[in-house]
């Protein structure tokens, strides 16, 4: 077998034991004589699978009893619309409700733009002035804000909030797609948390929403059934056929995480991996991090060949990405909007992958300058 180290931002690497177990159970899961893909979602065979996934997520994240967990589809991007529709949607003719957005990069700008179709959304603070290389101070919400939206970890630029802002009685909503389960998080500080699965949880196609129960049931009647938290909650994520196989794989990933020691253990490991990589970048004469030290992500680490002469930098970076791929270190190109390189070090990236990348970069640096 020839596995690569995959530094992709998403879909991204999954734990090998999870893939091996899924392979072993592909044609006969739990002695049912069926693949999970073939099971009725309402059957006695699938029920324990979705229940196990939810129970594990609740215990690993410490989700309080007054929060509901929903397994939906449409990715984090559909939540950009579902959040405003469900928390602040109004009927035709009624005054629009207000919502605050903190603009920390591409995903938060997209969330803001989508919300503007349904609510009076405003950008309460932004770090666009410095290419999103930091997290701005979070101003207090307005008393009549229906909610306050942040992107907790910014996958593309590689920043994360150093602490969770206090929004008082205004529900705090966070996109945690690229940092879910990577470090401890006090769920009770939030009204809604949402994450597409393909970064730290499992396959693309499944979306996890964690919502305080008092925020469910506020959508106006015209909001389509599939976009309503109240319907998905009432039907236990089975209003229609849920993404069964994705939910099953998430369950295996969560079991793997639990066996490792849960979030506190993976957090220690994530800190070690990120510290190794950032400290290499600090010492490198070729590569550097463009991100403010106070707000550096543990999960997504962009870097540039700033030590190269400006006229050669782009060419050198392209060569780096190609040669790294030839050495089985794949998907290191930065996002098409920001360029440079990026190493995503999600939960499933072993520390040996980080060490292999650093050794490769060190050798590349020595032969390049
Ligand atoms: C990947 C990502 C998204 C987009 O997720 P989709 O599931 O493709 O909609 C949104 N927000 C963040 C923070 C992401 O990392």
Cβ(122)–Cβ(101) under 8 Å? yes
Range of the domain at 285: 262-368
- Phi (first) and psi of residue 211, to 5 degrees: -135, 135
* Residue 296 in tokens: 């550096």
pLDDT in tens, 73-132: 999 999 999 999 999 999 989 999 999 999 999 999 999 999 999 999 999 999 999 999
The total number of structural domains in the chain stands at 2
Ligand 1 contacts CB of residue 243 (under 6 A): no
Indicate if 223 and 279 belong to the same structural domain.
no
Indicate if 250 and 310 belong to the same structural domain.
no
Q: Look at ligand 1, atom 7, and give the residue with the nearest C-alpha.
A: 75
Mean pLDDT calculated for residue range 306-324: 96
Measured from the Cα of 107, ligand 1's closest atom is 11
Q: Is residue 117 part of a domain?
A: yes
- Domain of residue 294, CATH code: 3.90.1150.10
Edge-to-edge strand list for the sheet holding 192-196: 67-72, 207-212, 192-196, 172-175, 145-151, 98-103, 120-126
Indicate if 215 and 321 belong to the same structural domain.
no
Cβ(5)–Cβ(193) under 8 Å? no
Q: Residue 1 — pLDDT band, cuts 50, 70, 90?
A: low
> In which element (H, E) is residue 124 found?
strand 120-126
Residue position matching structure tokens 């397994």: 71
Q: Is residue 77 part of a domain?
A: yes
Q: Is residue 11 part of a domain?
A: no
Indicate if 44 and 156 belong to the same structural domain.
yes
Residue position matching structure tokens 């939960």: 347
- Domain of residue 30, CATH code: 3.40.640.10
Q: Is residue 113 part of a domain?
A: yes
Q: Look at ligand 1, atom 8, and give the residue with the nearest C-alpha.
A: 75
Q: Is residue 10 part of a domain?
A: no
Indicate if 147 and 210 belong to the same structural domain.
yes
Euclidean distance between CA atoms 74 and 205, whole angstroms: 6
* Of 200, 235, 259, the domain-final residue: 259
Ligand 1 contacts CB of residue 107 (under 6 A): yes
Indicate if 268 and 320 belong to the same structural domain.
yes
Indicate if 239 and 278 belong to the same structural domain.
no
Cα dihedral: 27, 31, 34, 39 (round 10): -140
pLDDT in tens, 194-242: 999 999 999 999 999 999 999 999 999 999 999 999 999 999 999 999 9
Euclidean distance between CA atoms 342 and 328, whole angstroms: 15
Indicate if 184 and 120 belong to the same structural domain.
yes
Which of 8, 10, 75, 76 to mutate to test ligand 1, by most ligand atoms within 8 A of the CB atom?
76
Indicate if 233 and 282 belong to the same structural domain.
no
CB neighbour list of residue 65: distance below 8 Å, 6 or more residues apart? none
First-to-last CA distance in the chain?
35
pTM of the model: 0.98
Cβ(342)–Cβ(7) under 8 Å? yes
- Phi (first) and psi of residue 2, to 5 degrees: -125, 80
Measured from the Cα of 196, ligand 1's closest atom is 7
Measured from the Cα of 178, ligand 1's closest atom is 15
């Amino acid at each position: 077998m020839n596995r690569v180290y995959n530094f992709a931002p998403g879909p991204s690497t999954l734990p090998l034991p999870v893939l091996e177990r899924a392979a072993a159970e592909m044609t006969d899961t739990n002695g049912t004589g069926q693949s999970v893909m073939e099971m009725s979602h309402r059957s006695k065979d699938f029920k324990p699978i979705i229940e196990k996934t939810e129970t594990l997520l609740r215990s690993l994240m410490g989700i309080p009893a007054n929060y509901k967990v929903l397994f939906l589809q449409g990715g984090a991007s559909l939540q950009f619309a579902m959040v405003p529709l469900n928390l602040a949607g109004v009927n035709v003719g009624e005054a629009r409700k207000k919502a605050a957005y903190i603009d920390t990069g591409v995903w938060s700008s997209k969330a803001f733009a989508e919300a503007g179709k349904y609510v009076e959304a405003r950008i309460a603070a932004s770090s666009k002035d410095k290419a999103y290389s930091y997290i701005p101070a979070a101003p207090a919400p307005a008393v009549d804000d229906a909610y306050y939206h942040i992107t907790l970890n910014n996958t593309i630029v590689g920043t994360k909030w150093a602490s969770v802002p206090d929004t008082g009685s205004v529900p705090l909503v966070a996109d945690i797609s690229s940092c879910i389960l990577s470090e401890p998080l006090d769920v009770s500080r939030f009204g809604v948390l949402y994450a597409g699965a393909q970064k730290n949880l499992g396959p693309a196609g499944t979306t996890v929403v964690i919502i305080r129960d008092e925020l469910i049931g506020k959508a106006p009647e015209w909001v389509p059934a599939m976009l309503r938290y109240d319907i998905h909650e009432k039907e236990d994520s089975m209003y229609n056929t849920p993404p069964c196989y994705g939910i099953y794989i998430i369950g295996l990933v969560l079991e793997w995480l639990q066996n490792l020691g849960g979030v506190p253990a993976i957090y220690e490991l994530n800190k070690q991996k990120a510290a190794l990589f950032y400290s290499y970048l600090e010492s490198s004469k070729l590569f550097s991090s463009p991100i403010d030290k106070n707000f550096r992500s543990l999960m997504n680490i962009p870097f540039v060949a700033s030590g190269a002469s400006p006229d050669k930098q782009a060419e050198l970076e392209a060569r780096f990405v190609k040669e790294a791929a030839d050495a089985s270190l794949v998907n290191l190109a930065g996002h098409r909007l920001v360029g440079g390189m990026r190493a995503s070090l999600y939960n499933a990236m072993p520390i040996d992958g980080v060490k292999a990348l650093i050794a490769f970069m060190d050798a590349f640096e020595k032969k390049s300058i």
